[in-house]
Amino acid sequence: MLDILITSAPALSEQIIAVGENLSPQAPPGAEEKVNTALAYFMWGCIAIGIMGVMGAGAWFIMARRSGNSEEVQSTIARIVGGSLLIILAGPIVNALVS
């Protein structure tokens, strides 16, 4: 069984690549405008949430620094800021990959 899989893998991968190159995604008729509107609203919401996350992380860091335990909070804040930036940049990244 394994030897058949190993010997047929190159032909199978070439077929998958050939089929993948011929794909041309297309929106269903009548849904393109509604889907674009929904995605635009969702991307706007993601940007708003990302900005609030960065602002919240900054406020949390200020409060932790005043209380004297900023060293304990730094890694958590770095993860929050990283996640918020990923959310903010998700739309432009996908837009660049699609176009």
For 74-90, the pLDDT digits (tens) are 888 888 888 888 887 88
Residue 23 lies in a domain: no
What is the residue range of 37's domain? Answer: 31-99
Task: Please indicate, yes or no, if residue 3 is contained in any of the structural domains.
Answer: no
| 93 belongs to a structural domain | yes
Total structural domains within the chain: 1
Kindly state whether residue 51 falls inside one of the protein's structural domains: yes
Q: Is 92 a domain residue?
A: yes
Look up the pTM and report it. 0.55
Residues 10-67 have pLDDT tens digits of 665 665 555 555 566 677 788 888 888 888 888 888 888 888 888 888 888 888 888 8
Q: What are the b/e assignments for 5-44, b being 16+ CB within 10 Å?
A: eeeeeeeeeeeeeeeeeeeeeeeeeeeeeeeeeeeeeebe
Q: Is residue 81 part of a domain?
A: yes
